[in-house]
Amino acid sequence: MNLGIKSRFWIESENEKFLGSGRVELLEKIDRLGSISKAAAEMKMAYRKAWGLIKSMNELSDKPLVIKQTGGKHGGGTVVTTEGKKAIILYKEFEEDLNFFLESRMSKLKL
Dist CA 76 CA 13 (whole Å)? 32
Whether the Cβ atoms of residue 94 and residue 83 lie closer than 8 Å to each other: no
Q: How far apart are the C-alpha atoms of 93 and 79, rounded to whole Å?
A: 22
Q: Which of 6, 27, 16, 9 is nearest to 82 (CA)?
A: 27
Taking the complete model, does pTM exceed 0.85, yes or no?
A: yes
Classify 20-103 by CATH class. mainly alpha
Q: What is the pLDDT of residues 4-19, one digit of tens each?
A: 788 899 999 888 899 9
- The residues spanned by each domain of the chain are 20-103
Question: Rounded to an integer, what distance in angstroms lies between the CA atom of residue 3 and that of residue 1?
Answer: 6
In degrees rounded to 5, what are phi and psi of residue 3? -95, 150
Q: Is the pLDDT of residue 111 over 60?
A: no
pLDDT in tens, 20-77: 999 999 999 999 999 999 999 999 999 999 999 999 999 999 999 999 887 666 667 8
Which pLDDT does position 75 carry in this prediction?
65
